[in-house]
Structure 1
């Protein structure tokens, strides 16, 4: 497989449990870049919390943020943005509040955690999220939200749920990036650990699950690498990019 782009989830994948990029991962990314292979962060994080990592890794093309809700160039020019209806955001916040769950909402101007705006309609909304160790609450929320066909439901941890507009996910954003770079998804190696990574792992030429990934991710991946604390990303780059 002629890999020309490496798409990396961040939390649980590129980053170890200290939210750091290991020296080994950093070295292998630098070697891939030296071979003119693009490296793209494809994350549920918003731009402000992932850009410093991209800068420190000397990445040079695009950033996929908020699970595909936005695509940015490395010089912070917005290429694409997909927004949730403010009424949907308010409905989800009220559902979470009724279940006594704290919502984490991402608007284009800030992150809202455990609080709400006075008027939802005065903000542009990228993503909704909720987290709980109470699986019954999570199941109830998923059941309620599954009735709305304009929502894309996923997670970034087994204990959370994340919501984007329908059809907005990391794979759709990667397809846009590939078009811009003149390559196809067959030229992509994608690595991740959670349900918000599953579509990009399925559609990539090489789909890599982390050793710490949810079982559903391992089941659809072409390859299972080591964990995020054992440099799994760097080892996968070595195997599928640098040794070719």
Structure 2
């Protein structure tokens, strides 16, 4: 990247957020100052609207986001969707069936809600997402019959997260869905599988944002730490791995910075902007 970048796309968990799921004061100050300078700072996250609600006040200066791993491109300031990519109904059913076969926890992301089967939030440590339990309890919607809800709202579901008991169970779900659907699949956390429509991922979300804002992709910097960031890290003008990133992410990136507990985002801003 020779020209000065004009957009910074930030993953949240393990990137903008530290291991305690907070934005450190130093990182928050640096990101706000960058946004005030005229650079577009956008979220590029697997989280949906309900899952970023806890940060809406401190990140109120942000204007745009690619949410649900590209399934929802959103204008934060106007509070309106720019683009929605729902999962085809038959592939949504395939996700539910694959999850049931592995006794997994399913999370449905719609344009506005994060929906789970009633009773499973209390069990989320079993599915390797215990760190998110407080956020789930605050912001998720529980329903008595998730399958019925999914079918009744199929045109609104943009992402399915399947949280498994272990990585082996996730691999079995992945193999099933790869054989029976055209979904875009991305590993996350210890045993989670993110499912979005074919061609929809964090890279497609960033492309839509760049088109909307008139920013060339080559002048966008993307930062992340996990496999669900790989597409956007490769597509952006520069991909940056956090120090806590896995080896696949590190290999895919142009630069590695400090980890999320040591203000790696501040290093990105100081070195590239």
Assess same fold via TM > 0.5.
Answer: yes
CA contact (8 A) 1:83 1:125 kept: yes
Question: Counterpart of 1:136?
Answer: 168
- Between the aligned partners of 2:57 and 2:44, the Cα distance in structure 1 is 14
Aligned length: 241
Counterpart for residue 6 of structure 2: 4
- Structure 2 SS opposite 1:201: helix
Give the direction of change, closer, same or farther, for the CA distance of 1:109–1:28 in structure 2 (3 Å limit): closer
Distance 1:85 1:48, change over 3 A: same
Structure 1 range deviating more: 213-222 or 133-142: 133-142
SS at match of 1:46: coil
Matched, 1:168 2:200: yes
Equivalent position of 2:212 in the other structure: 180
Native 8 Å contact 1:24 1:231 kept in 2: yes
Query: Contact 2:72/2:111 (CA < 8 Å) preserved in 1?
Result: no
What TM-score does the superposition give when structure 1 sets the normalisation length?
Answer: 0.92
Question: Helix, strand or coil for the counterpart of 2:211?
Answer: helix
In the alignment, is the contact (CA less than 8 A) between 2:207 and 2:217 conserved in 1?
Answer: yes
Residue in 2 that maps onto 1:122 = 152
Q: Tell me, what secondary structure is at the counterpart of 1:39?
A: strand
2: CA distance between counterparts of 1:163 and 1:225? 29
The correspondence for 1:79, drawn from 63, 76, 82, is 82
Match of 2:183 among 151, 154, 170: 151
Deviating above 4 A after TM superposition, structure 1's stretches of 4 or more consecutive aligned residues are none
- Please give the root-mean-square deviation of Cα atoms over the aligned residues, in Å: 1.7
> Alpha carbons of 1:109 and 1:122: their partners in 2 closer, same or farther (altered >3 Å)?
farther
Contact 1:41 1:54 in 2 (8 A): no
User: What's the secondary structure of 2:179's corresponding residue?
Assistant: coil
* Change beyond 3 A, Cα 1:112–1:57: closer
Distance 1:48 1:197 in 2: 20
* Aligned match of 2:18: 16
Unpaired runs of at least 5, structure 2: 118-144
Partners of 1:220 and 1:204 lie apart in 2 by 11
CA contact 2:187–2:227 (8 Å) conserved in 1: yes
The TM-score normalised by the length of structure 2 is 0.83
2:43 is the counterpart of 1:41: yes
* Residues 86 and 125, structure 1, Cα contact 8 Å, conserved in 2: no
